[in-house]
């Protein structure tokens, strides 16, 4: 059975939550540097607020949380905490390298370069050029994965910016970042971003689909499991061996098929 990862915005996320989740798949890993990265980002972003009215540190914590859900390595998660400190705070790449490592500094610098690209995604050929530019700037593929986690959380909190900005960011995400997630095979991120783009680009369609697919995710998963069991029983009646899988479809996928 396919299980969708939950990338919801976590307003009350703590460093202890993140450490516990990281240790779930790295039980023998020393988490000293993770804690250090959180404290470093918290100090760097002190006094900064997001459009939602929340303290800015909530954003890098959610980015790090997404990377942990994707079971990324320690350097990626640390880069998630630090991804905005060079761009938004008075921090230099040399300081990141000295406090953490050259690899982490390189990832943060790559993310800063990508954030400075002025995306204009009106034509597909132009979007392809921007995708190539992003890949070229990201000498380490982890730069793109951290950027996808960053974009995921920004899309999750997009309702706090103007309608014009919502549509611009959503279109940019659909043109640039969804194809990158697809090419990297991160289907959970691809599907989530597509649904969020649909929500802001075509809200009337998104909410109409949401109304028609009113069943809770747990209920839909249960329905799929029951259906799989029926199919398995029927196949066994005819001595047929088969592997059967099922999953709830994303709204964007339903929209495209319609």
User: pLDDT (tens digit, 9 = 90+) per residue, 7-39?
Assistant: 989 999 999 999 999 999 999 999 999 999 999
140 given a catalytic annotation = no
User: pLDDT (tens digit, 9 = 90+) per residue, 199-226?
Assistant: 999 999 988 887 777 666 667 778 888 8
pLDDT-flagged residues of the chain (< 70) = 1-4, 120-126, 136-138, 214-218, 247-248
Residue 2: predicted pLDDT: 41
Alpha helices by DSSP H, listed for the chain, are: 15-25, 32-44, 58-69, 74-82, 85-88, 93-99, 102-115, 124-137, 141-156, 163-172, 178-183, 187-201, 203-212, 217-237, 251-257
Catalytic residue among 88, 95, 99, 140: 88
Residue 1: predicted pLDDT: 38
Residue 218: predicted pLDDT: 67
Count Cα atoms within 13 angstroms, Cβ side, for 182: 11
88 given a catalytic annotation = yes
Residue 23: predicted pLDDT: 97
Residue 253: predicted pLDDT: 76
Residue 189: predicted pLDDT: 95
Catalytic residue among 87, 95, 97, 140: 87
């Amino acid at each position: 059975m396919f299980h969708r990862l939950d990338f919801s915005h976590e307003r009350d996320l703590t460093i202890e939550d993140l450490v516990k989740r990281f240790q779930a798949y790295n039980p023998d890993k020393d988490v000293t540097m993770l804690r250090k990265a959180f404290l470093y980002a918290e100090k760097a972003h002190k006094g900064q607020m997001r459009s939602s009215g929340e303290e800015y540190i909530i954003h890098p914590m959610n980015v790090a949380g997404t990377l942990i859900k994707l079971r990324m390595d320690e350097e990626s998660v640390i880069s998630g905490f630090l991804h905005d400190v060079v761009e938004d705070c008075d921090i230099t790449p040399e300081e990141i390298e000295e406090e953490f490592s050259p690899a982490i500094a390189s990832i943060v610098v790559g993310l800063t370069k990508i954030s400075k690209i002025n995306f204009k995604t009106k034509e597909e050929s132009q979007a392809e050029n921007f995708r190539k530019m992003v890949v070229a700037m990201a000498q380490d593929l982890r730069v793109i994965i951290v950027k996808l986690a960053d974009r995921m959380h920004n899309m999750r909190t997009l309702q706090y910016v103007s309608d014009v900005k919502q549509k611009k960011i959503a279109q940019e995400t659909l043109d640039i970042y969804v194809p990158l997630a697809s090419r990297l095979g991160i289907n959970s991120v691809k599907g989530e971003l597509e649904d969020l783009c649909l929500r802001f680009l075509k809200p009337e369609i998104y909410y109409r689909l949401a109304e028609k697919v009113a069943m809770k995710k747990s209920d839909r998963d249960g329905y799929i499991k029951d259906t799989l069991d029926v199919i398995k029983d029927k196949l066994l009646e005819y001595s047929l061996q088969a592997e059967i899988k099922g999953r709830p479809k994303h709204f964007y996928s339903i929209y495209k098929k319609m």
